Amino acid sequence: MTPADRLAPALDAALERLAAAPRLLVALDFDGTLAPEVDDPLSARALPEAAVALEALRALPQTIVALVSGRSLESLAHVGQLPPDTPLVGSHGLEVRLGAGAPEPAVDAADRERVDTLRAALAPLVAAVDGAWIEDKPAGFAVHTRVVEQDAAAALQRDARERASSLDSRLTVRDGKNVVEFAVRDATKGDGLRILRERLGVDAVLFAGDDVTDEDALRTLGERDLGVKVGAAATVAEHRVADPAAMAAVLAELAVRRRGILSA
């Protein structure tokens, strides 16, 4: 870590305490936290320095690295590029994969029918806007507008929301970065993180995220945990870093300190 990257004193102290946890879960959002944003979601990758830090953490005893994302599990496994035993939470908490086995079922036939009906109704609106596209997920889909002209993007998001709510009043609708998402099941990253915490039997959790939906996970943290917001947006997290590069430096520092404590 260079002097310019030096940790804020409060984060430095919190990291030192966390590094000594008997059994530690490092649970991380992916896009905007480990990986810089790109136009094609399937091309997103964790920064190389973040990937190295995650590997260093994974190599330590009693230390579990997990990803908690709005992506589908399939997409998250593809971009995350972590070993198959890595716990993954996808679809904002709905899909959970603990270890290398098959994930728990996320939706049933009735859910799929609702998704298909909604998608068929919104697809023509999306197809009419240059650059807009639909990313499918098990319990819904995301309408991406990242490369759409600003006014057209705002109009599409508004029209899609109105059409969706007129068709299905029980939908969960989420705003993201240049994306609006529709889901027929309501789950949050807080639910996903609670499942990881309980099933993995950890004493402390580091969670870091950059987006609105990460706040649900940050709100579940307790005194022994550490929450980090990546970027400048409003947050309940006690600590903040500027960007994925700074987050990678925090993860690298945690690995160094924990290795030192565990080998003392």
**Which parts of this chain interact with ligand L263DTV3 (CB under 6 A)?**
29-32, 37-39, 41, 44, 69-71, 135, 142, 144, 146, 176-179, 211
Residue 70: DSSP 8-state:
S
The tokens for 77 are: 């496994």
Q: In angstroms, what is the minimal distance from the CB of 178 to ligand L263DTV3?
A: 4
Residue 93: DSSP 8-state:
G
CA atoms within 13 A on the CB side of 97: 26
Q: Which residue has the tokens 């098990």?
A: 138
Give the whole-angstrom CA distance, residue 228 versus residue 38. 22
Sign of the CA dihedral running 103, 92, 41, 79: negative
Which of helix, strand or coil describes residue 137?
A: strand
Identify which of residues 20 and 36 has a Cβ nearer to ligand L263DTV3 in the complex: 36
Q: In angstroms, what is the minimal distance from the CB of 260 to ligand L263DTV3?
A: 30
Give the whole-angstrom CA distance, residue 178 versus residue 133. 11
Identify which of residues 172 and 178 has a Cβ nearer to ligand L263DTV3 in the complex: 178
The tokens for 94 are: 């709905």
Q: In angstroms, what is the minimal distance from the CB of 117 to ligand L263DTV3?
A: 21
Identify which of residues 37 and 55 has a Cβ nearer to ligand L263DTV3 in the complex: 37
Using CB atoms within 10 Å of the CB of residue 205, give its burial: 0 to 12 exposed, 13 to 18 middle, 19+ buried. buried
Identify which of residues 49 and 131 has a Cβ nearer to ligand L263DTV3 in the complex: 131
Q: In angstroms, what is the minimal distance from the CB of 36 to ligand L263DTV3?
A: 7
Q: In angstroms, what is the minimal distance from the CB of 132 to ligand L263DTV3?
A: 11
Identify which of residues 191 and 203 has a Cβ nearer to ligand L263DTV3 in the complex: 191
Q: In angstroms, what is the minimal distance from the CB of 39 to ligand L263DTV3?
A: 6
Identify which of residues 19 and 72 has a Cβ nearer to ligand L263DTV3 in the complex: 72
**Nearest to ligand L263DTV3 by Cβ — which residue?**
70
Long-range contacts of 235-240 (CB under 8 A, 24+ apart): 238/10, 238/14, 239/8, 239/10, 239/11, 239/14
